[in-house]
Amino acid sequence: MAAELFKTDAPTAEIAKLAENTFRDINIAFANQLALICEQHGVDVTEVIKLADTHPRLSPAEPIIHKLISLNATIIVYDPHCGQSFGAKKANSLHEAVKGADCLTIITDHIEFKNLNLQEIKTLMAEKPAIIDGRRIINPIQAERLGFLYYGIGFGKQRNN
């Protein structure tokens, strides 16, 4: 098996390794504890996991939408997998949501958002549009070349200066 090499600095490599190990350890410990609890109660752990995975999640968009509404921002929501608009106007399509918008904020990484035609989206938006990419699914270089002001979460100093 060939390993892929990544070029980075030492602090980033150290934190990446720490995150990888911690994530794995937490998942293993959680799975083991869940299995023990299920066993004690005569419940099938695989059925529990399957059912737990179907419950609708709290949307990370909700507090963001509420905050922006409190600041008198005009918010138009589009999410093909969530029926809630959290008090904002709900669009029936992404194109409807971005029409005339100053900013496109991406909070979920649905496949539809990963495959955006940025050139087309830009023609629908306001003159100097911005993208806030909370999931880092947009290519920042492409977005900036097309004239978007791009801000991605978690890049550190090298990207968002």
Whole-number Å distance between alpha carbons of 131 and 99: 14
The residue ranking higher by pLDDT, 151 or 79, is 151
Tell me the pLDDT band of 159, cut-offs 50, 70 and 90.
low
Task: Kindly state whether residues 127 and 68 are assigned to the same domain.
Answer: yes
pLDDT at residue 130, as a whole number: 97
**Residue 138 is assigned to a structural domain of this protein:** yes
Contact 103, 132 (CB under 8 A): yes
Contact 61, 97 (CB under 8 A): no
Tell me the pLDDT band of 149, cut-offs 50, 70 and 90.
very high
Residue 36: give the domain boundaries: 10-52
pTM higher than the cut 0.75: no
pLDDT at residue 51, as a whole number: 82
Going by C-alpha positions, the residue among 33, 64, 69 that lies closest to residue 49 is 33
Calculate the CA 16 to chain-centre distance.
19
Task: Kindly state whether residues 43 and 101 are assigned to the same domain.
Answer: no
Whole-number Å distance between alpha carbons of 107 and 65: 11
Task: Kindly state whether residues 80 and 38 are assigned to the same domain.
Answer: no
Evaluate if residue 58 carries a pLDDT over 80. Answer: no
Strand partners, 130: 103, 149
Question: Who's near 65: CB < 8 A, 6+ residues apart?
Answer: 75, 77, 85, 86, 87, 88
Task: Kindly state whether residues 36 and 74 are assigned to the same domain.
Answer: no
Summarize the confidence of residues 86-109 as an average pLDDT.
92
pLDDT at residue 57, as a whole number: 61
Summarize the confidence of residues 52-66 as an average pLDDT.
75
